[in-house]
Amino acid sequence: MNKTIASMLLFLALIVVLSACSSNCKSGTEIRSGNLATGRKQADAITAKLCTDKTDYNKGDIIHITFTVKNLLDEQIVLDGGQQPVMDICVLSMPCLSQYQTDLAQFTRLSLDPGQSHTIQWDWPLPGTDLSDSIIDRTNVASVDGKWIGLDKGQGIVNVHFFYGPRAMVP
């Protein structure tokens, strides 16, 4: 009986570990500069997390991409892109998500309260997409960028790579 329980617990632990490893995420942090004149200290201001649901895909699979920007400060922040979307997802040389979704293209200002986050999602590729310019033939590696407008109106980028199709070896 104890061996059965121990085996079940080991099996459940393995499932938890494998499910945690199945997503493919990268994070980036924007740091707010300090200001001696005002006494404001340098601090982590924004964290951005970009994920694909896996690292390896068969040709024809849909990649589920999630991009989240979160306010780490104890005050409200406003991200203002002017004429640009404040958040976007781009896969290599293909058009970015904002070129397909007009509401995202017009999403040029984002206010985040302390601890608040905003997430956008994309199921890629869209039907009928020609992937010949997006996948590196020799290795079948593709890359996705999560872009956001930072506090200083500069652009922050976080990047994730994944394999699309059979893994090829680098010569």
Tell me whether residue 123 is in a domain.
yes
pLDDT recorded at residue 104: 95
The total number of structural domains that make up the chain: 1
Tell me whether residue 64 is in a domain.
yes
Q: What CATH number should be reported for the domain holding residue 118?
A: 2.60.40.2360
Mean pLDDT of the chain: 84
CA separation, residue 68 to residues 29, 88, 121, 124 (Å) = 12, 10, 9, 17
Tell me whether residue 66 is in a domain.
yes
Tell me whether residue 154 is in a domain.
yes
pLDDT recorded at residue 3: 57
Are 24 and 67 in contact, with CB atoms under 8 Å apart? no
Tell me whether residue 78 is in a domain.
yes
Task: Provide the domain limits for residue 68.
Answer: 26-164
* Mean pLDDT of the 84-105 span: 92
pTM for the structure as a whole = 0.81
Q: Using 50, 70 and 90 to split pLDDT, how confident is the model at 18?
A: very low
DSSP 147: E
Q: What is the pLDDT of residues 57-81, one digit of tens each?
A: 988 899 999 999 999 999 999 999 9
Tell me whether residue 21 is in a domain.
no
